[in-house]
Homo-oligomer: A and B are copies of this chain.
Amino acid sequence: MNHSVQLLGISNAIVDVLAHIDDTFLGKIGAVPGSMTLVDMDRAREIYANMGPATEMSGGSVANTIAGFANLGGSAAYIGRVKADQLGGIFNHDMRSLGVDIRLAAATNGAPTARSLILITADGQRTMQTYLGACTELSTDDITPESMGSPKAVLIEGYVWDLPEGPDLTAKAIDIAKKNGTAVALSLSDSFCVERHRDSFNHAVRNGVDIVVADEDEVSALVQTEDFDDTLDALDAYDNLFAITRSDKGSVIVQGDERIVQAATPVDEVIDTTGAGDAYTAGFLFGWVNDKPLAECAKIGTFCGTTVIQQVGARIEPGLLDNYS
């Protein structure tokens, strides 16, 4: 099979708006610390008007993975909807500057480009209030054999199921992938997202998804177990490849009867865990599309995740693998 690129991402295209807040702010706006909440434009505007000065940068979970994958040296493409406004220009610029092939033109009508208000307390915890804007208008018509091409793998973000046409457009993407010999990877996004879409996710995982990337909470939510050993037992009933991150407990790769345990790398100081999972996914899939053994994929993923938690900022910088051995 001749693949046009190695990895295509389909996800919410979001600009992050980061601000430090004091401990009383979350209570004032009624936000649950550490949560990701979808908000409408009025609510986003109200919170923004009351929060402090901010820093803007391109974000989004799978978009971060795609950016990191490109910085590792992989060839990547991206499908996500932004508007042709300044934030959309920022998002597309940042992806293109990494060599990512942007498959959809910025929309000239509809809602503005999505932004996630990321509220950071003194302890470093992040609470996200996300206005999906243009993302919500990603449609089944945007997913075509032409826009998808024939990548070696496609990574679909669980959050896409929150979009009005999300279930349909992801089904179509999986269908096109199957016809092209493209492997389908699914990121479970967060455990609340899994709770919202458990049946749909299970259906997809049993019908077309090849690889599931997730942390242990998300997988537990998917299979409805509490103990991680029970979670692993439950995966006996699945045929998929699972790459499961477990924070300082490392990661576990599950495929059929095989269980590969990759230890975490001890670090002197954790600066910021944001993006660690997305970076792990970038490294894992970079190994996978380059036909590395699964143990090696896990090792590259761990290397990427370990690097990201020792820096401020979620994204993998270029040349990271120069230090990989």
Residues of A participating in the B interface, judged by any CB pair closer than 8 Å: 48-58, 67, 85-87, 90, 93-98, 112, 312, 315, 318
Chain B residues near A67: list those with CB within 8 A.
53
Q: In chain B, what residue has the closest Cβ to A96?
A: B49
Q: Are B57 and A94 in contact (CB under 8 A)?
A: no
> Which among A58, A67, A90 has the highest number of chain B CB atoms within 10 Å?
A90
Chain B residues near A98: list those with CB within 8 A.
52-53
Q: Are A94 and B54 in contact (CB under 8 A)?
A: yes
Q: Are B55 and A93 in contact (CB under 8 A)?
A: no
Q: In chain B, what residue has the closest Cβ to A19?
A: B97
Chain B residues near A94: list those with CB within 8 A.
52-54
How near does chain B come to A274, taking the closest CB pair, in angstroms?
14
How near does chain B come to A311, taking the closest CB pair, in angstroms?
12
How near does chain B come to A66, taking the closest CB pair, in angstroms?
12
Tell me the complex Cα distance, A55–B315, Å: 12
Chain B residues near A86: list those with CB within 8 A.
85-87, 112
Tell me the complex Cα distance, A67–B87, Å: 23
> Which among A58, A95, A312 has the highest number of chain B CB atoms within 10 Å?
A58
Neighbour of A57 across the interface among B48, B54, B312, CB < 8 A: B54
Tell me the complex Cα distance, A322–B56, Å: 28
Q: In chain B, what residue has the closest Cβ to A94?
A: B53
How near does chain B come to A261, taking the closest CB pair, in angstroms?
34
Tell me the complex Cα distance, A112–B90, Å: 14
